[in-house]
Each structure stands twice: as C-alpha cells, then as structure tokens.
Amino acid sequence: MRGCEGNVSEMFVSFQGEGLHAGRRHLFVRLGGCPLRCRYCDTPGSLVPAAECRILGPDGERRRANPFTPAEVETEIRALVAAAPPLAALAVTGGEPLAQTDFLIAWLEMRTGELPVLLETAGILPVRLERLLPHVAI
C-alpha cells in the first residue's frame, strides 16, 4: 500500500439531478463500496469496490486501475475541470463516501481547486460524517 488510497468507480461531468442544485453542472466523483444493500439503490454498480475507474471526459471514456492516492484523484479532477468549464460544484458520491473517510479527508485537505464540495451520503456513519464536515460546503 502506498499510504492513504481510495477506490473510485467513476469521474464525470453531468447535471445535478437532485436537491437545490438540480440542473447545475457538477463534476461527480463516485467512490466504490457501500456497506448497505438498499433495494432502491440507483447505482448498484458502486456497491463493491471497482477494479477500474471509468473517467468520462470531453474526449470520450478511458479507464484507470484502482486504487487512487489523493494526489492522483486531484490530478484527474484538475484535467476534467479544465476541459469542461463552467462547473458549479464537485459532487462526491458513491457507493457510500463515509466508508472511505480517511481517504476523503486526506484528499480534501490537499485540494487546491475552488469548486465547493457537495457530499452525497446516507449519513449512516455519523462520527465519520462529523470528521468530514469541515471539508465540505454542501
């Protein structure tokens, strides 16, 4: 292991479909793995950690092996932000992001980007959520 690493199943730019920010363009970082098995899950492919991350950019799709270091995620994000402006926010979703709290904190603490971070979570791990709150805006 190379230190703190995380499992990312997808990175892509799309329109937010939920909440107060519906209709705004966001960069989505979908993490792999979730301890829940909700029958109504809208992304069942993210329930287990992914072997590869699917990165959808303006030039098409490419794949990259997991795991990612925080710096590697940030490098991919910077490239997507530069290729697809303007964006309203960075949406971290899953799977269940709180299942990778240490990785998320390491990544979000070193971020240099100016996009506000939206955290999409079931909130099932409140102690972990509390640790992440200083690093998210929405």
Tell me the domains of the chain and their CATH numbers: 8-13+26-135 (3.20.20.70)
> How far is the C-alpha of 70 from the C-alpha of 77, rounded, in Å?
11
Confidence at residue 1, expressed as pLDDT on a 0 to 100 scale: 40
Task: In the chain, count H helices and then E strands.
Answer: 3, 6
Tokens of 69: 């270091």
**pTM for the whole thing?**
0.93
Confidence at residue 85, expressed as pLDDT on a 0 to 100 scale: 86
Backbone φ and ψ for 91, nearest 5 degrees, come out as -100, 120
pLDDT 10s digit of each residue in the chain, 138 long?
A: 456 999 999 999 999 998 888 999 999 999 999 999 988 888 888 999 999 999 999 889 999 999 999 999 999 999 999 998 899 999 999 999 999 999 999 999 999 878 999 999 999 999 999 999 999 998
